[in-house]
Amino acid sequence: MKAFVTGATGFVGSHVARELALRGAELRLLVRPTSRTENIDSIKAERVVGDLCDPASLKKAISGCKLVFHVAADYRLWTPGRNAQEMYRANVEGTRAIINASRECGVRRIIYCSSVATMGFNAAGIPVTEDDPVALAGMIGHYKKSKFMAEEVALLAARSSAQNGGGTEIVVVNPTAPIGEQDIKPTPTGRILVDFLNHKFPAYVDTGLNLVDVTEVAKGHILAMERGRPGERYILGGEDLTLKQVLDKLAAITGIPSPTMKVPHSVALGFAVFDEFITGKLRGQEPRATVDAVRMGRKKMFASSAKAQRELGYNPIPVESALRRAVEWFNARGYVKPALALAPYQQAKQQARS
């Protein structure tokens, strides 16, 4: 069966495309004219040039496909000026355009890749589930708001299909914080690793997240295609870890010391305000710390994949292997200054082998 994948040149999307290829799917991948394609160069697939904001190109690209994996998203926590409008256009209107084009082309099922960011996290750090209450007003920053709105578009379309007695089925998956190889931008989670490897992590805050092996996220997409119930959401997670635990794991892998100084959120917020102004506004570069990221960090983003386990057969695994692969990948591709991170990492590898 022919499958159409958006976002295949990116981090999660490239793993979804690779997993589909391994299972013998006939692939058609959406590629923008400006896309970096190294993540898909080894995948046997038809490439179609198009854009989420160009409905005509989408309809042409989807024609003849029975499955659609909509993984593309504008994932940034720093959106100055008009960039915020671009994010809503890509994430919200792009999702609407994919669904409309899929319906017109007779697609059987859409797997929409949302995010755990749309969930209703709590201050107590209790793992969130798909059933916990949440509203747009609780979303911090443009990324979370745009993904929440896009997810609502997908769920509304799923209900409409069910009420009309059929049509294109839509299943939503909500990955937590994927980690692994091929994080080319990198994502905000990947930036944590890159900053650590470059010795730019002198302190930490009391926060937490659910890290998941990106290859397991890709397998979760396939499971959702095979077994997911239309109109349902499924958290695809891995391991709940505090930020300090993540940094300690990286220290054990690389030999780079883990920071020991914990700073209050108020101090981190002050640094983020400063960094956004100096690095972002004056220098025109992406800040290392953003106000939205610090505000999100006040709640530990722990999550439960129990529903995906029950209904899809999803199997969360520890993230140790994914962290190691990510470290190797970032080191090998020049994201890390060799004098700072590569030598200690190689030494730690040799010690582990001996």
**Contacting residues for 130 by C-beta, under 8 A, at least 6 apart:** 119, 174, 232, 233, 234, 235, 307
Sheet holding 2-6, edge to edge: 46-49, 26-31, 2-6, 67-70, 109-113, 169-175, 233-236
Task: Give residue 278's pLDDT.
Answer: 77
CATH code, residues 2-176+213-238+302-317: 3.40.50.720
Domain boundaries, the chain: 2-176+213-238+302-317
Task: Give residue 219's pLDDT.
Answer: 98
Task: Give residue 214's pLDDT.
Answer: 98
Q: How far is residue 34's CA from residue 31's CA, in Å, rounded to a whole number?
A: 8
Put simply, whether the predicted model's pTM sits higher than 0.75 gets the answer: yes
Task: Give residue 343's pLDDT.
Answer: 55
Return the exposure string of 83-120: e unless at least 16 CB atoms fall within 10 Å of the residue's CB, then b.
ebebbbebbbbbbbbbbebbbebebebbbbbbbbbbbe
How far CA 106 is from CA of 97, 100, 144, 227, in Å, comes to 14, 10, 30, 20
Q: Over its length of 354 residues, how does the chain's per-residue pLDDT go in tens digits?
A: 899 999 999 999 999 999 999 999 999 999 998 899 999 999 999 999 999 989 889 999 999 999 999 999 999 877 776 678 999 999 999 999 999 999 999 999 999 999 999 999 988 889 999 999 999 999 999 999 999 999 999 999 999 988 877 789 999 999 999 999 999 999 999 999 999 999 999 999 999 999 999 999 999 999 999 999 999 999 999 999 999 999 999 999 999 999 999 998 787 778 777 777 777 777 777 777 777 777 777 889 999 999 999 999 999 999 999 999 999 999 999 998 876 645 545 544 545 554
Residue 299: count other Cβ atoms within 10 Å of its Cβ.
Answer: 17
